[in-house]
Structure 1
Amino acid sequence: MLNKVPEVIIYFWIIKIMATTVGETAADFLIGNLKLGLTNTTLIMSVLLIITLFFQFKASKYVPSIYWFTVVMISVVGTLITDNLVDNFGVSLVTTTIIFTVAMLATFAAWYASEKTLSIHSIYTSKREAFYWLAILFTFALGTAAGDLIAEGLNMGYWKSALMFAALIGVVTIAHYGFKLNTVLSFWIAYILTRPLGASLGDYLSQPRDKGGLGLGTTGTSMVFLVIILGLVFYLTKTRKDESKVVE
């Protein structure tokens, strides 16, 4: 059960951004190397995500390794779902962005109507955790669509898109700490924005130079970020610095 929340904010956001970047590059890596096709790759990764969620829901407390592996898996699947809609079904990036925005907002509305809170500090029941992971899935799918729409559809380019989303996160941070913007609202806005930030960053690092990237490749980019994530998760597991008291 997701009944413990990160105490050290900086670790949470560093790993979150890393996970979103890996979600973009790992999805591209799997599609390009498994040779199973986009649809089959999505199905396989979705089954693995379901298995991962089983262990996440079964856990009686916050376990960094399980939690962050779930985030990485849901990031990959969210990316693949969007790619399927765009590449296999011909749905435009504008339409997918709208679809996942509506789905995400509907999830938040149903969550709040049922539980009267959207705070991650209050996730101590299976029902609230189900809302949490569903909302995250839609934020990842939406972030992929929005990131690609800005970077590719509007021809802004990957690094400019990454800077734009990073600047928006900075605005939210200032609004929260400087002007007391509601904590829950600040969290979810920042959480949503980290996905297109990660997508743009991942594409900028991995895509060929003739497409506006640095040409590091999906393999190298994914491995670097995965190593950093594993290192941080190992550190948190040992030190338990991101744990807090169980919410009663």
Structure 2
Amino acid sequence: MTTALDSTRVSDLLLSKVPQITLAFWVIKVFSTTVGETAADYVNDTLGFGLTTTTIVTGALFAIALFFQFRTRRYVPAVYWLTVVLISVVGTLITDNLTDVAGVPLWASTLVFAVLLAITFVVWFRSERTLSIHSIVTRRREAFYWLAILFTFALGTAAGDLLSEALGLGYLLAAVLFGAVIAAVAIAYFVFRANAVVCFWIAYVLTRPLGASFGDLASQPVTDGGLGLGTTATSAVFLVVIVALVVFMTIQIAAQRRRLDEADVRAQLA
């Protein structure tokens, strides 16, 4: 018969709709936000789609990816991370539309998305009594999860633009600042044993402006404080890294599930 630890591992790996929190998770998360920032600029400016058309196209692609994500019965790396990349683009475009089209100040959109995220967490917790991503095993929890993710991307975009552009810190200094805060959160968790769920969501919000700052730093012209690589090259480089890591995670998870299945069979035969 399986032990309690085995049962927990089986539940985490076979029932959860989201990945385990590893270094690869955070690397892909940061890089997906970078791609979200540069890809939105690439489609909007380089391809000349314009902000409205870009928003419609990426919104439709995100809806399709989210549909398949909800249809899966367990965590599928390719589907999950495609959804994350697309929701990153959509979150970026929501803030861009509010700023460039509606004329909403960045400080106001930052405040609004912070409030919306807080409300999402409150309703989620009152409904499910947990905000842990390790418990995403039902449709309702998954719906709360993706709504929270959308607001984290929109909030991260607004906060990042507020610091790097509106307050004139520049892309490099903004990246260093967000990286330092994330490091402080990591220290609070690993050294001082701060609440894991709180630390996770703080870090998740902050990796959005961190990745966006890296993307802007690499893609924007030298005259604007960037490295001048352009949105095409920047998007391609980071996307290749994401794909490579997703392939690695897919192979790794397949091996883990195979070992768990074999262990379960041996336990039943014992």
Separation in structure 2 between the aligned mates of residue 5 and residue 152 of structure 1, nearest angstrom: 33
The amino acid of 1:180's aligned partner reads R
Q: Which residue of 2 aligns with 1:205?
A: 218
Among all aligned residue pairs of Structure 1 and Structure 2, give the percentage whose two residues are the same amino acid: 58
Q: Secondary structure at the match of 1:240?
A: helix
Please report how far the alpha carbon of residue 3 of structure 1 lies from its aligned counterpart in structure 2 after TM superposition.
1.6
8 Å CA contact retained: 1:236, 1:242: no
1:67 matches 2:84: no
1:88 matches 2:101: yes
The amino acid of 2:129's aligned partner reads K
Q: 1:42 to 1:242 in 2, by over 3 A?
A: farther
Q: 2:119 aligns with which of 106, 110, 113?
A: 106
Q: 1:228 aligns with which of 241, 247, 263?
A: 241
Separation in structure 2 between the aligned mates of residue 75 and residue 151 of structure 1, nearest angstrom: 18
Q: Secondary structure at the match of 1:79?
A: helix
Separation in structure 2 between the aligned mates of residue 243 and residue 171 of structure 1, nearest angstrom: 32
Question: Root-mean-square deviation (CA), in Å?
Answer: 1.7
Q: 1:106 to 1:155 in 2, by over 3 A?
A: same
Q: How does 1:21-170 map to 2 (within 5 A)?
A: 21-170=34-183
Whose radius of gyration is greater, 1 or 2? 2
Q: 1:119 to 1:242 in 2, by over 3 A?
A: farther
1:240 matches 2:257: no
Please report how far the alpha carbon of residue 39 of structure 1 lies from its aligned counterpart in structure 2 after TM superposition.
1.2
The amino acid of 2:181's aligned partner reads L
Query: Which structure is higher in RCO with an 8 Å CA cutoff and minimum separation 6?
Result: 1
Separation in structure 1 between the aligned mates of residue 255 and residue 249 of structure 2, nearest angstrom: 6
8 Å CA contact retained: 1:123, 1:129: yes
Separation in structure 1 between the aligned mates of residue 254 and residue 30 of structure 2, nearest angstrom: 19
Separation in structure 2 between the aligned mates of residue 71 and residue 23 of structure 1, nearest angstrom: 9
The amino acid of 1:178's aligned partner reads V
TM-score by length of 2: 0.87
Separation in structure 1 between the aligned mates of residue 17 and residue 148 of structure 2, nearest angstrom: 18
TM-score by length of 1: 0.95
Separation in structure 1 between the aligned mates of residue 85 and residue 173 of structure 2, nearest angstrom: 24
Separation in structure 2 between the aligned mates of residue 79 and residue 194 of structure 1, nearest angstrom: 13
8 Å CA contact retained: 2:221, 2:229: yes
Q: 1:2 to 1:203 in 2, by over 3 A?
A: farther
8 Å CA contact retained: 2:17, 2:142: no
Q: 1:166 to 1:127 in 2, by over 3 A?
A: same
Please report how far the alpha carbon of residue 2 of structure 1 lies from its aligned counterpart in structure 2 after TM superposition.
7.2
The amino acid of 1:14's aligned partner reads V
Separation in structure 2 between the aligned mates of residue 195 and residue 131 of structure 1, nearest angstrom: 19
Encode CA deviations 1:99-153: one digit per residue, 9 max, x unaligned: 1111111111111111110000001001000000010001001111110100010
How many pairs align?
245
Separation in structure 1 between the aligned mates of residue 135 and residue 163 of structure 2, nearest angstrom: 34
Runs of 4+ in 1 over 6 A off after TM superposition: 241-245
Separation in structure 2 between the aligned mates of residue 242 and residue 176 of structure 1, nearest angstrom: 30
Q: Secondary structure at the match of 2:83?
A: helix
Q: Which runs of 5+ in 2 are unaligned?
A: 1-13, 261-270
The answer to which of 1-10 and 150-159 deviates more is 1-10
Please report how far the alpha carbon of residue 35 of structure 1 lies from its aligned counterpart in structure 2 after TM superposition.
2.1
Q: 1:64 to 1:163 in 2, by over 3 A?
A: same
Q: 1:239 to 1:195 in 2, by over 3 A?
A: same
